[in-house]
Amino acid sequence: MNKHQLMEQLAFCIEKGKADKATPIPPDMKDQDGAKEITATLLEMGAEPEELLNGALIPGMKKIGDLYGEGKAFVPHLLLAARAMNAAIILLKPYFDSGKIERKGTFIIGTVQGDLHDIGKNLVKAIVEGSGWEVVDLGTDVSSEGFIKAIAEHPEAPVGLSALITTTMVNMEKIVSDIRQHYPDKKILIGGAPVTQEYCDKIGADFFTLYPQEAAEYLNSLISKF
């Protein structure tokens, strides 16, 4: 394959969740190179790391994110795509660390205090990271203090709050209020199965979505405003 064909194949591997040669899915790609091997080959061919990110990895993640938003892909597909993306990102990490690839920005995310669910948070993290952002993952059961401390360390970073059960939504409201007391203009995104646009408006958050790709698109829209 030439470089162009390999770039297209890499994007396809991300979309389909083909992390490496040993990954058995999709069945019709069994024993074929996956994202890890193709990324290594492209780098050896002299492809620029940023070219791989913007020309294959991000488009691949966007495709699966869009399919999820359309109801044509489901959580397991997103998790597989995230695994494939991570297999490629590991090879690009030295270029991020050296500054050769510039991140779009930093995004802070965590599941709110009292809630130990992390699937939704992890999906958003994967899509946003795959879109070219540095993600600070605070984990689950994160208090106001945890979010505020992270914001102090990354003052320009937007913040994402996740809640997967109705009983922890009250904590989401408190955390938004506490963040606003310290950082009135901070961009705050919220999401999770029980969360609605009405609730977003009620607690004073800036953006609500149930779809990871929409969160990435919103963050990308903020870049020029930083």
d(CA 109, CA 43) in angstroms, rounded, equals: 31
**Better-predicted residue by pLDDT, 1 or 28:** 28
CB 57 within 8 A of CB 85: yes
Check whether residue 127 and residue 180 sit in a common domain: yes
pLDDT in tens, 197-226: 999 999 999 999 988 888 989 999 998 654
The domain that holds 219 is classified in CATH as 3.40.50.280
d(CA 39, CA 142) in angstroms, rounded, equals: 35
**Better-predicted residue by pLDDT, 174 or 125:** 174
3-state helix, strand, coil in the chain (%, to 5): 60, 10, 30
From 36, 65, 98, give the residue that closes a domain.
98
pLDDT in tens, 73-112: 988 898 899 889 889 988 988 877 777 777 889 999 999 9
From 28, 63, 98, give the residue that closes a domain.
98
Check whether residue 79 and residue 116 sit in a common domain: no
pTM reported for the whole predicted model: 0.75
Q: Mean pLDDT over residues 161-176, rounded?
A: 93
CB 55 within 8 A of CB 6: no
The domain that holds 64 is classified in CATH as 1.10.1240.10
Check whether residue 59 and residue 93 sit in a common domain: yes
DSSP code for 28: G
d(CA 63, CA 134) in angstroms, rounded, equals: 20
State which amino acid sits at residue 32.
Q
3-state secondary structure of 93: helix
